[in-house]
Amino acid sequence: MAPTHYTKNDNLTSMYNCLMTGAFSNLTIICGDKTWNAYRLVVCTKSSFFRQACAGNFQEAVSGVINLEDENPLAVKLMVDFLYSDDYDMDIDEELPPGSTSELCMHV
């Protein structure tokens, strides 16, 4: 049987589908009333914040839960989308507060 070859897009789509279903997740990210069942392998390899939070004896490393209560849920959603797909969609219904740091960062 010949080996199956996957493209980068196939891999990104597979990872994003896992994020959407929560299958095999080992990290929960909470912000406001939103929850993402994520994978340490994905978020820690792409973000030094998550890598540090999941390392050592930090509460987040032990519990597998990262609470970003002081952040804007939409900004966190876009960040998680980017970590999984190397892209994010700014054509969204929700609005960030005008002039907010989060709003400005979305356009950089």
Single pTM value for the model? 0.71
- pLDDT at position 23: 74
Give the CB-side neighbour count of residue 103, counting CA atoms within 13 A: 7
Instruction: Show pLDDT as tens, one digit a residue, over the chain (108 residues).
Output: 666 555 656 666 666 676 677 777 899 999 999 999 999 989 999 999 999 999 988 899 999 999 999 998 988 998 998 998 887 776 655 565 665 555 545 544
Compute φ and ψ for 5, nearest 5 degrees: -105, 130
Architecture in CATH of 8-106: 2-Layer Sandwich (3.30)
Enumerate the domain spans of the chain. 8-106
Per-residue pLDDT at 57: 85
d(CA 52, CA 49): 5
Alpha-carbon dihedral of residues 45, 51, 57, 62, nearest 10 degrees?
-70
Write down the pLDDT at residue 97: 60
